[in-house]
Structure 1
Amino acid sequence: MPVDGRRGEELSRLPAAPGPGPGPSRPTSADVARHAGVSRATVSHVLNGTDHPVSEQTRQRVLAAARDLQYAPNASARALRAGRSNIVLVPMLRSATVPGADRFLESLDRELAARDLVLLMHGDRTTSGVRGAQAWAELRPAAVYVNVSRGTPAAVELLRRAGVQAVLLTGAPRVDYAPTVPLDPAAVARLATRHLLARGCRRLACLVPSGPLAELPTQRYEAVMEVAAADGVPVERVDCELSSDSIAPVVDRWRDPAQRPDAVYTNSDPFAILLIDKLRAAGIEVPRDIAVVGSGDHPLGAALRPAITTATFDVPAIARVVASSIRRLLDGADLDPGLEAALRPHLIVRESG
Structure 2
Amino acid sequence: MATLADVARHAGVSTATASRIINGSPKPVTEQLRARVLAAVAELRYVPNAHAQMLARSNRNAVGVIVHDVSDPYFAEITRGLQRVATANGRLVIICNSFRDPGREMEYIDLLHAHQVAAIVIAGSGYLDSAAASELDDRMRAFEATGGRIAVIGRHQHPGDAVLPANEEGGYLAGKHLCELGHTTIAAIAGPPSLTTTVDRLAGLHRAATEHGATIHVTHSDFTRDGGEAITGKLLADDPSLTAIAALNDSMAVGALAAMRTAGRHISVVGFDDMPIARDVTPALTSVRLPLTELGERAMTLALDPAAGDAPRVEHVPAELILRDSTWPRDQLPR
Which TM-score applies when normalising by structure 1? 0.60
Corresponding residue number in structure 2 for 1:55: none
The superposition leaves residues 244-276 of structure 1 with CA deviations (integer Å, 9 ceiling, x where unpaired) of 665334213443xxx33x421022334333433
Aligned match for 1:102, one of 76, 81, 89:
76
The question of whether the paired residues in 1 share the 8 Å contact of 2:162 and 2:313 is answered with no
Identical aligned pairs, as a percentage?
16
**C-alpha distance in 2 between matches for 1:336 and 1:348:** 32
Runs of at least 5 residues in structure 1 that lack an aligned partner in the other structure: 1-27, 29-78
Corresponding residue number in structure 2 for 1:178: 160
Superposition pairs for residues 36-115 of structure 1, below 5 Å? Answer: 83-93=58-68, 98-115=72-89
The superposition leaves residues 165-194 of structure 1 with CA deviations (integer Å, 9 ceiling, x where unpaired) of x2223321575x422222355553232112
Corresponding residue number in structure 2 for 1:297: 274
1:312 aligns with 2:312: no
Letter in structure 1 aligned against 2:74: G
**C-alpha distance in 2 between matches for 1:117 and 1:163:** 17
The question of whether the paired residues in 2 share the 8 Å contact of 1:324 and 1:336 is answered with no
Q: Secondary structure at the match of 1:264?
A: strand
1:137 aligns with 2:117: no
**Distance verdict in 2 for CA 1:135–1:199, change over 3 Å:** same
Superposition pairs for residues 147-158 of structure 1, below 5 Å? Answer: 149=133, 152-158=136-142
Report 1 or 2 for greater relative contact order, CA contacts < 8 Å, sequence distance ≥ 6: 2
**C-alpha distance in 2 between matches for 1:183 and 1:139:** 30
The superposition leaves residues 117-137 of structure 1 with CA deviations (integer Å, 9 ceiling, x where unpaired) of 2222346663456x7654332
**Distance verdict in 2 for CA 1:100–1:300, change over 3 Å:** closer
**C-alpha distance in 1 between matches for 2:108 and 2:191:** 29
Q: CA deviation at 1:350?
A: 0.6
Q: Number of aligned pairs?
A: 261
Letter in structure 2 aligned against 1:320: E
1:349 aligns with 2:323: yes
Q: CA deviation at 1:103?
A: 2.4
1:195 aligns with 2:177: yes
Corresponding residue number in structure 1 for 2:233: 248
**C-alpha distance in 1 between matches for 2:271 and 2:170:** 9
1:116 aligns with 2:93: no
**Distance verdict in 2 for CA 1:214–1:265, change over 3 Å:** farther
Letter in structure 2 aligned against 1:310: S
Runs of at least 5 residues in structure 2 that lack an aligned partner in the other structure: 1-25, 27-53, 127-132, 328-335
The superposition leaves residues 36-76 of structure 1 with CA deviations (integer Å, 9 ceiling, x where unpaired) of xxxxxxxxxxxxxxxxxxxxxxxxxxxxxxxxxxxxxxxxx
**C-alpha distance in 2 between matches for 1:122 and 1:209:** 21
The question of whether the paired residues in 2 share the 8 Å contact of 1:151 and 1:169 is answered with no
**C-alpha distance in 1 between matches for 2:297 and 2:108:** 26
Which TM-score applies when normalising by structure 2? 0.62
The superposition leaves residues 69-91 of structure 1 with CA deviations (integer Å, 9 ceiling, x where unpaired) of xxxxxxxxxx9777442322223
